[in-house]
Amino acid sequence: MSIAPTSTAPRLQFANASKWYGSVTALMDVSFQVGNEVVGLVGRNGVGKTTLMKLAAGLLQPSQGEVRVAGVPAGSRAARAALGFCPDTDRLFESLTGVQFVAWMLRYHGLGAATARRTAEQVLDDLGLGPAMHRKVGTYSKGMRQRVRLGQALAHRPAVVLLDEPMTGLDPIARAELAERIAALPGRGVGVLVSSHVLHELEAIADRVVLVHQGRLLAEGKVADLRRQLPGRPQTYRLAAPDLRELAAALVALPAVQDLSVGAEGLLVTAGDGAAFRAAVTELAAAGRFAIREFVPVGDDLATVFESLVG
């Protein structure tokens, strides 16, 4: 299927796109589109999410089918100008300051030095980096680095941004802040495709999710619709913090918590109502009572979704 170039074309469109390396198929016949909305791309590690992202960014060419950004073929100069890419790598240009890095990236889009710097300062200020934007990237926390990565993807005012695993490694507060910023992007005219292997991360921000499994598009729809396939299933989370016992005492009082154990890797908590539990943990972290370093689902229910969809 080819995509007719019309003025109503979506911001990002996959049309029967396939990608294979020799005899290995990475993606097979994938079709979906992203408008002025947040679309979550979900799948386990190694199922083709990154390949899909790279096809959209023009870093790979589809073996078959078509990928278009803002109505033009992905990878073309016009497509690159209309696209912002936030890779999953955490190693930015450590010797540059946040402003220098974003301004540097802007100059590749054709902005003059002074304009690029001014725009970079404005974008990083909007993202809440504050005076830290003038410090070297090497001194940043993971949350600050993520803001800089997001800043460089948004600074040239793209029509669509690709966010590859943006929540990885962030503490609960930073996750909540980032989720809020991502959810606000469509309101500013930016379409978003955000990938994650953790379904609940996308729940708060994605209008729709696209499930990818073994290189195929398995399902597409609203997160709530997908979740309905798992009524009442408890979820287990792992938390890490310096004061584990105090944290355990606080968590056990929560009505959502069904089971709790302290192990070598941290605190394992099973919650009946995952959404309520996550909100409660975020509140605890935001209140500053506990320095929660890690908060990740163990055996996320995504696997069960896949199993039920695959049959």
Partner 1 sequence: MTPLGLRYRRADHALVPAWRRWWPLARQEFLVPFRSKVGIAVFCLCLVPAVVRLFVLMIRYGMVDFGAAARGDVIGRSQAWAQWDSGRPEFYVELVMGTWPGLPVLILLTGSATAGAIARDRRTNALELLWTRGITPFGYLLARFCGSLGSLCLVTVAAPLALWVAAALMVDDWQQLTSTLPFLGSVLFALLLVSAVWTALCLCLSAMASSPSQAIVLWCLLLVGSTALANIAAGVLREPNLRAWLSVWDAGGTLARHVAGVSTRVALGPALGFLSGLLLLLGLGAWRRLRVGEAVA
Stated as kind and residue range, the H or E segment containing 50 is helix 49-57
CA distances from 180 to 34, 131, 206 (A): 19, 21, 11
Q: Does the protein bind partner 1 through residue 89 (CB under 8 A)?
A: yes
CB of 180 to partner 1, least distance (A): 21
CB of 134 to partner 1, least distance (A): 17
Rank residues 73 and 272 by Cβ distance to partner 1 and give the closer one.
73
Q: Does the protein bind partner 1 through residue 64 (CB under 8 A)?
A: no
Q: Does the protein bind partner 1 through residue 11 (CB under 8 A)?
A: yes
> Candidates 76-84, 217-225, 249-257, 286-294 — which segment interacts with partner 1 by CB under 8 A?
76-84
CB of 189 to partner 1, least distance (A): 6
* Contacting residue, 42, 105, 163, 174, with partner 1 by CB under 8 A: 105
> Candidates 59-67, 127-135, 216-224, 227-235 — which segment interacts with partner 1 by CB under 8 A?
59-67
Residue 22 CB neighbour total at 10 angstroms: 5
Check if the beta carbon of residue 121 is closer than 8 Å to that of residue 163: no
Q: CB-based contacts of 22: which residues, under 8 Å, 6+ apart?
A: none
Burial 199-226 (b: 16+ CB within 10 A, else e): bbbbbbbbbbbbbbbbbbbbbbeebeeb
Please state, in angstroms and rounded to a whole number, the distance separating the CA atoms of residues 267 and 260.
Answer: 7
CB of 184 to partner 1, least distance (A): 15
What is the β-pairing status of strands 191-196 and 160-164? parallel
Q: Does the protein bind partner 1 through residue 61 (CB under 8 A)?
A: yes
> Candidates 70-78, 234-242, 274-282, 286-294 — which segment interacts with partner 1 by CB under 8 A?
70-78
Tokens representing 240? 């890490």
Q: Does the protein bind partner 1 through residue 98 (CB under 8 A)?
A: no
CB of 86 to partner 1, least distance (A): 9
Rank residues 112 and 299 by Cβ distance to partner 1 and give the closer one.
112
Question: Taking Cα atoms as reference points, which of 23, 43, 38 lies closest to residue 214?
Answer: 43
* 3-state secondary structure at position 233: coil
Can you give the binding site for partner 1, defined by CB under 8 A? 5-7, 9, 11, 21, 54, 57-61, 69-72, 75, 77-83, 85, 87, 89, 91-93, 95, 104-105, 107-113, 115, 119, 152, 156-159, 189
